[in-house]
Chains A and B, each alone.
Chain A
Amino acid sequence: MNFSVWQGEWSYILLFIAGFCVTQPWRYMGVVLSKDVSIDSEVLVWVNLVSTALVAGLVARLLLFPAGAVAEVPLALRMLAFLGGMGLFMVLRQSMAAGVLGGIGILVAGIVLIGI
């Protein structure tokens, strides 16, 4: 793992560039454009689809290639906990509390049972 550049005092500059500097300008541009320019709604549709697909890729990565504590958990248990949480969410009328508590419950119970 090549984590070194993201550590130490200099890391704040990197975090600022890769975080704030690529996020906040879009908000500022929104303020500027909201004045009189009408944004092409087709572009908005594409932007929304891209960020949705990216979050889907992120979820897949968090499940398949997790870092740290979850990486110790077997893939089958990770998937079981995730799908269990999603299933509870859907069955119990889209209750996020049920999805979160159910998913975490399965994961933690599984870890304790297996004894990692």
Chain B
Amino acid sequence: MTADGSDPGLQAPAWTKGATQRQALLRGARRAFGSLPAFVVFATAIGFGALARDAGFDLWQTLFIAATIFALPGQVVLVQQAAAGATLLAAALAVMLTSVRFLPMTVALLPWLRDGSRQRTKEYLLSHFMAITVWLESRRWLPVLPPNLRMPFFAGFALMIYVGNTSAAVIGYVVAANVPTPLAAGLVFLTPLYFGMSLILTAVQWPFAVAIAVGAIVGPVAFVYAPGFDLALSGLVGGTVAYGLKRWREGR
């Protein structure tokens, strides 16, 4: 990876020569089927559907949550908060803390979508698709595309991931309702497994390892003593402790 996050091994693909925006949109949509992270997200969204059903939601609520949030951690947090009987405030706070990261992510990605012309309405519409997988993949691909094809390519890719994510939630819900209980439990277990692996990948940087360790300890303790606010507390305490340690070590 280079400093701007692009993949130095990638060059502008041959199809971009003389391609129209419409063709770029279709190419982006096709790209969603060939990307491994997209496949992983699809599987995890199936787990979300099973998890939401397990927590007591109906199919339409599950679809509604997936379609309006479109961010797996936020979706899982909301479902878990509701299942634990958390108040609206506690649920909203916890989901919000998982979503703040979209601000810097959007700021970092948008310059890559612009070709000089102002397309504010499109930018606001497309911002709904800003989620971690779309972001990571786009950072790899956008820099090597001609500027005028970037936004349509992104739109096609992100829209396809969005459709896949929401339909996977429905699939997971329906499958979990129709398989034997052990398998349904297995599908529900997909979520902690996937998040656990994602955490391991980030833990190579020591401040993140600290945040993970503190968050994993504070969370369960707070669940017992401050139910509803346990996720917010694990995030704020774990993140702030890790940040403080990082600053302290850099300051010496």
Query: A residues bordering B, Cβ < 8 Å?
Result: 1-3, 5-7, 11-12, 14-24, 26-31, 33-34, 39, 44-70, 72-73, 78, 81-82, 85-86, 89-90, 94, 96, 99-100, 103-105, 107-108, 111-112, 116
Contact = CB atoms under 8 A, between A and B. Distances in A.
B103 A29 contact: yes
A28 B123 CA distance: 9
Interface in B190-217: 190-202, 207-208, 211-217
Given A18-B95, A52-B211, A58 B219 contact: yes
Nearest to A20: B68
Interface residues of B, number: 101
B55 A67 contact: yes
Contacts of B166: none
Interface of B: 40, 43, 54-57, 61, 64-65, 68-71, 73-78, 80-85, 88, 91-107, 110-111, 120, 123-124, 127-128, 130, 181-202, 207-208, 211-220, 222-223, 230-240, 242-243, 246
A75 to B, nearest CB: 12
Given A27-B128, A34-B110, 7 more contacts: A3-B85, A15-B65, A18-B78, A48-B101, A70-B54, A86-B196, A103-B189
Given A18-B81, A49-B211, A70-B54, A104 B186 contact: yes
Given A1-B83, A52-B208, A27 B127 contact: yes
B83 to A, nearest CB: 4
A5 to B, nearest CB: 7
By secondary structure, the A interface counts as helix
Nearest to A112: B182
Given A50-B239, A56-B238, A67 B83 contact: yes
Contacts of B217: 60
A20 B78 CA distance: 11
A1 B85 CA distance: 6
